[in-house]
């Protein structure tokens, strides 16, 4: 498996966009290895199943796209608190969702997010006004998305290895 590192240590917009694209593709590659039943299983090392991780990822992407669009359009825009981490408990993804549908939605949102960042040009120093954190730059927000993606990728990798090992 290729080695992936957090983009937090690079503030180059091109690198951030590249890593968002590549890690998202790796997540999809891991997830398609699972059957629908396997995607609903929880392994002892993780609190969420693969379908719950996909639901979290899709919901996070939706929230992040709204925030990034606001930051790019106008520095100082109000951005919301991230709530997607509550999704697996609140939305019951294990019983009501299919991993392929969640990943399709995530992929579609990711492409929109990447195009938004591609055209951001000079907005990388823009800030969003977070209700608890204060000012957050676009670069910081995108770096956090990358770290979330890496976490999901590693967790999916553990799930696949556990079920296939």
pLDDT above 60 for 7: no
Mean pLDDT of the chain: 91
* pLDDT over 70 percentage in the chain: 93
d(CA 55, CA 97): 8
What's the confidence (pLDDT) of residue 128? 96
* pLDDT of the residue at 164: 83
Tell me if 119 sits within 8 A of 68, measured CB to CB.
Answer: no
> pLDDT, tens digit, for every residue of 26-63?
999 999 999 999 999 999 989 999 999 999 999 999 99
The pLDDT assigned to 136 comes to: 95
Element (H, E) at 104: helix 99-118
What percentage of the chain has pLDDT greater than the value 90? 76
pLDDT computed for residue 9 by the predictor? 47
What global pTM score does this model have? 0.90
Structure tokens at 153: 């990728």
Task: Print burial letters for 9-43: b (CB count within 10 Å at least 16), e (below 16).
Answer: ebeebeebbebbeebbebbbebbeebeeebbbbeb
Q: What angle do CA 8, 11, 14 make, to 5 degrees?
A: 110
Mean pLDDT of 82-94: 82
Q: Is 138 exposed, middle or buried (0-12, 13-18, 19+ CB in 10 A)?
A: buried
Tell me which of 7 and 137 has the higher pLDDT. Answer: 137
């Amino acid at each position: 498996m290729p080695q992936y590192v957090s983009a937090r240590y690079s503030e180059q917009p091109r690198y951030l966009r590249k890593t968002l694209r590549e890690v998202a593709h790796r997540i999809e590659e891991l997830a398609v290895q699972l059957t629908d039943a396997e995607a609903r299983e929880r392994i002892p090392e993780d609190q969420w199943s693969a379908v719950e991780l996909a639901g979290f990822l899709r919901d996070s992407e939706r929230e992040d796209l709204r925030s990034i669009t606001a930051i790019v359009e106008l520095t100082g825009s109000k951005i919301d608190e991230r709530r997607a981490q509550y999704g697996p408990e609140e939305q019951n993804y294990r019983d009501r969702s299919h991993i392929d549908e969640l990943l399709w939605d995530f992929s579609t949102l990711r492409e929109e997010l990447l195009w938004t960042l591609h055209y951001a040009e000079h907005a990388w120093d823009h800030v969003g006004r977070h209700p608890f954190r204060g000012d957050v730059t676009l670069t910081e927000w995108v770096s956090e998305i990358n770290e979330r993606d890496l976490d999901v990728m590693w967790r999916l990798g553990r799930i696949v290895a556990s079920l296939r090992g």
